[in-house]
Amino acid sequence: MSGALVFAWSGVLLFGLGLFGFIAHRHLLRRLLAFNIMGSGSFLVLVGLAQDGRGVDPVPHAMVITGIVVAVASTALALVVFRRWYRASGRTDLPEDT
Amino acid sequence: MSLRLVSAALLCVAVTVALAWAVLDRPLPEENLPDRVAAAMPESGVDHPVTAVLLNFRSYDTLLEIAVLLLAVVVALALREAQPDQPEAMGLDNPLLRAVMAWLLPLILIVAGFLLWAGSYQPGGAFQAGSVLAAAGVLLRLAGVTTAWLDNATLMRAGLALGLLTFLGVGLLVMIPGAPFLTYPLEYAGTLILVIELTLTLSIGLTLISLFRLTPPYADDPDEAREQAGKTP
């Protein structure tokens, strides 16, 4: 088992854990955290697999750093929106679709 | 409820196993990107492949990323509630933190500068430097240091937009001699990338600081908030 595969599988595991958290929890902050764990998992898969085969591939690395910055910004934006939602409705979750 | 959890767990295990299998049994990409990047490195103006990809070969991605950051902070500004911002309300009443800040702040600024400069030949660059700058801003706010220059709305907005505008400006400027958008001439590539990275660092730092500052410590009780806003619940 190569090192790249260890990283990729760890990423897959993180993605699965995040997906479960995202489905299982209702609280918006928990969902945001779960979503970020999913994102970290996919970044780890990209970075891990990029060092396989023909040496280190800088293109996925550049993509991941772009992705991390966008993820930070979108997380902060989500927090601003959640806070506004909580102050407007007093709820920490979204209403169910029935 | 528990049925929902069990089915969710089963689904997630299935997805994880499928993904693990997909990762194990993957085809090698047809395009040999590491070789192509290595072959094009002398034309990039920098010595580190990731920086070369970020700011030269695929600078379009980075340009759009800065646009996304700017968009996020604009939306956050638009959602901001019309209440007075009170920086000192957030300051932790901690003399130790304030004392440590005086030592940490110069160090943080040096680290940010080093990361920015290091980006041309080793891991580092505008994003890392910008995040370190933002960390300095967050620490300042937590320590309750009043940052009047951050409250100057015009200056702040100019700083937020500076990175994107410089990037776009450079991209358009190289079109005058007839090169395609964002294709830097070889002899100026290093300088242009450094200029873009400098302004990007500033804008990324300010963006992250603004996103943090846009959620000041209000009364979080919704009823209280409605009273403050003068609405009937």
Residue B89 pLDDT more than 60? no
How big is the CA angle at B225 (ends B221 and B226), to the nearest 5 degrees?
120
Query: Distance between terminal CA atoms of chain A?
Result: 46
Query: Is A95 among the domain residues?
Result: no
What pLDDT sits at residue B215?
65
| Among B5, B28, B69, beta carbon nearest to A24 | B5
**pLDDT per residue over A57-80, tens digit each?**
888 888 898 899 889 889 988 988
Domain of residue A14, CATH code: 1.10.287.3510
Residue A42 has pLDDT above 90, yes or no: yes
User: To the nearest whole angstrom, how far is the Cα of B162 from the nearest Cα of chain A?
Assistant: 17
Q: pTM for this one?
A: 0.82
Q: Do B222 and A45 touch (CB under 8 A)?
A: no
Q: Report yes or no on A97 lying in a domain.
A: no
Which chain A residues are closer than 8 Å to B225 by Cβ? 87
Residue A94: inside a domain: no
Query: In chain B, whose CA is at the least distance from the CA of A13?
Result: B16
A28 belongs to a structural domain: yes
Name the average pLDDT for chain B.
82
Number of structural domains found in chain A: 1
Question: What is the pLDDT confidence band of residue B233, given thresholds at 50, 70 and 90?
Answer: very low
In a domain? residue A72: yes
Query: How far apart are the C-alpha atoms of B73 and B69, rounded to whole Å?
Result: 6
Mean pLDDT in residue range B86-92: 57
Question: What distances in angstroms separate CA A89 from CA B95, B222, B228, B229, one per listed residue?
Answer: 38, 7, 15, 14
User: Among B88, B221, A92, which residue's Cα sits nearest to residue B229?
Assistant: B221
CB spacing of B19 vs A73 below 8 angstroms: no
Distance from CA of B169 to the nearest CA of A (A): 21
Report ipTM for this prediction: 0.84
Question: Do B20 and A55 make contact, defined as CB atoms within 8 angstroms?
Answer: no
For A26, the domain range is 3-89
Average pLDDT over chain A, rounded to an integer: 88
Chain A to chain B Cβ contacts (< 8 Å): 125
User: Which residues, at least 6 apart from B103, have a Cβ–Cβ distance to it below 8 Å?
Assistant: none
Q: Please tell me which of the candidates A12, A74, A87 has its beta carbon nearest to residue B72.
A: A74
How do residues B159-212 score in pLDDT, each as one tens digit? 999 999 999 999 888 888 888 888 888 888 888 888 899 999 999 999 988 888
Choose among A87, A58, A66: nearest CA to B48.
A58
Counting residues of chain A whose pLDDT is more than 70, the rounded percentage is 95
- Mean pLDDT along residues B48-60: 84
Tens of pLDDT, residue by residue over B27-43, are 777 777 888 888 888 88
What is the residue whose two structure tokens read 């620490």? B139
In A50-89, the residues whose Cβ lies within 8 Å of chain B are 53-59, 61-63, 65-66, 68-70, 72-74, 76-77, 79-81, 83-84, 86-89
Task: List the structure tokens of B191.
Answer: 């300088």
pLDDT for residue B72: 92
Q: What whole-number percentage of chain B has pLDDT above 90?
A: 28
Does any domain span residue A96? no
Angle between helices A58-89 and B33-40 (to 10 degrees): 100
In sign, the C-alpha dihedral spanning B193, B199, B202, B204 is negative
